[in-house]
Structure 1
Amino acid sequence: MTLLGPAEIRDLAEQLELQPTKRLGQNFVVDGNTVRRIVRTAKVEAGDEVLEVGPGLGSLTLGLLEAGARVTAVEIDSRLATQLPLTVAALAPESSERLTVITDDAMKVANLPGAPRRLVANLPYNVSVPVLLHLLQSVDSLETALVMVQAEVGQRIAAAPGSKVYGSPSVKAAWYGRWATAGQVSRQVFWPVPNVDSILVSFERGERPGSEQERRATFTLVDAAFAQRRKMLRQALAELLGGSAAASARLEAAGVDPTLRGEQLSVGDFLAIARAA
């Protein structure tokens, strides 16, 4: 199959009178080897149901179809969503029936056709974390993911407690399963070239540790703890839990040292605090 290169990407952009925007995080992959590496790392096989978010001009879409996957692509830009099936029909007509394009905001989708098992995407830098968390919460069929995000963001998502980059996204992502970095991606494989490098981050779903009500309570605690991450938990959670003394008592009831900071706690620790109410 012919994948999109720099010339084809620019031709498509010119045809659509498209000026990539930072608002939509539009940076298009122009290197076929990188596309095939992503598909290979994601372990996509023939017959897999794959969700792709932000397919753009179709670089990764074509690579997924080449591997034999059935692809549901969610694209917020109506021009790109309209063009994508035409590009596939021109370059891989035998794959057209395996592509479904949905014109929508990925932050709003829930029930998707085909019950996709894998998420494989080059996520827009500006919304990568909220999109990921929304999809993991809303699309129950997802079992694995391989996403390309800004390197700093990807390292934070996959970070373990105690790491310098461990934060709110790390804890919330861990609610859904196991994360790991899976390789760097040079900024030079994109058009336009972004100001940062990217990273691949992999995910395998695990059993959710608590109910939906407990998730919301846990995430509220996480937000409070990391809003003042340099403070001890008894101080950072004081306003939320009714004062420093009440916070200390709640933390001790959960088996958590009140003098610790949020960056030292696992998602299980935060859940224990929520359950100690």
Structure 2
Amino acid sequence: MTGNFPKKFGQVFLRDKNIAAKEVRLLSVRDGDEILEIGPGDGILTDILLSYPVKLTAVEPDHRFYESLAIKYAESIYTGKFKILKESFLDIPPANYNHIIGNIPYNISSQILFHLLDFNFESAVMMVQKEFALRLVAKPGTKDYSRLSVNAGLRSNIKIISNVNRQVFSPVPGVDSSIIEIRKKSCDIDIKNFDAFLIKIFTMRRKKLSTILNYSGPLSEKRPGELTIDQLIMVYSRI
């Protein structure tokens, strides 16, 4: 399958079963848990997940992988243990799962993360590009700190578990990857409006808030990338 892998989905495929098993262990699944797998590809995670007493739903937009998995796991589909949807994760409505897992395409990582955070779940484990992982956990005042860092930190606690060498993927990508763990946290702010605020200020991140917003309150002489999430919320609430 992977010799002619679908480049339009931006995927590379993990070939190390020990790393796949580590990802699944990080979920700490319990009997009867409902799990969502994003982009199973040829099933390296699926194989391991179905060895647990869980209910698994997978979303796979490429018809070749969808058909292959549907045949391979026909018995699990028949018994109701496994369900596979032929569509993109970005197109399915938010729902409730105990856990979410996936080795996700590099080229739509941001979109997947933002959509993921609209779901209700206990924990999620994702394999992402290493540079993307560093942006997710970046601190104020660093070059990687961005709108992405703020949005992710506002709605979740994210931890980089380990880095993964590019040589364990096929085809070999030009970058290394990281396994991240995501746990949601409560957020009572209007996400859509706050994100519009972040877009505005981080587009001009080298300027002071007083210039960007015509704002003269606390922290007005600071630049967006210097402020913590709590400080950004405070400024947002005053404009």
TM value normalised by structure 1: 0.79
Name the % identity.
Answer: 30
Residue from 183, 197, 200 that aligns with 2:179:
200
Q: Which residue of 1 aligns with 2:168?
A: 189
Q: Structure 1 counterpart of 2:199, which letter?
A: D
Q: Which residue of 2 aligns with 1:217?
A: 193
Q: Which residue of 1 aligns with 2:236?
A: 274
**Quick check: 1:56–1:75 contact (8 Å CA) kept in 2?**
yes
Q: Which protein has the larger Cα radius of gyration, Structure 1 or Structure 2?
A: 1
- What does 1:137-148 align with in structure 2 at a 5 Å threshold? 137=118, 139=119, 141-148=120-127
Distance 1:201 1:111, change over 3 A: closer
2:197 and 2:208 mapped to 1: Cα distance? 13
The 4+ residue runs of structure 1 with deviation greater than 6 A are none
Residue from 125, 130, 133 that aligns with 1:154:
133
Deviation string, structure 1 residues 191-250 (Cα, Å, up to 9, x no partner): 11111110011111111132xxx2112111111222122222223x34xxxxxxxx223x
Q: Structure 1 counterpart of 2:17, which letter?
A: G
Instruction: Give the RMSD, CA atoms, in angstroms.
Output: 2.0
Residue from 176, 195, 210 that aligns with 2:155:
176
Deviation string, structure 1 residues 81-134 (Cα, Å, up to 9, x no partner): 222122234xxx56863211111121121144xx31211110100001111111
Moved more, 160-169 or 217-226: 160-169
**Quick check: 1:162–1:263 contact (8 Å CA) kept in 2?**
yes
Match of 1:119, SS state, is: strand
**Quick check: 2:11–2:104 contact (8 Å CA) kept in 1?**
no
Q: Which residue of 1 aligns with 2:223?
A: 261
Q: Which residue of 1 aligns with 2:86?
A: 103
Q: Structure 2 counterpart of 1:121, which letter?
A: G
Aligned length: 238
The answer on 1:62 being equivalent to 2:43 is no
TM value normalised by structure 2: 0.91
Gaps of 5+ in 1: 1-12, 239-246
Q: Structure 2 counterpart of 1:269, which letter?
A: Q
1:94 and 1:22 mapped to 2: Cα distance? 29
Distance 1:135 1:44, change over 3 A: same
**Quick check: 1:158–1:201 contact (8 Å CA) kept in 2?**
no
The answer on 1:132 being equivalent to 2:113 is yes
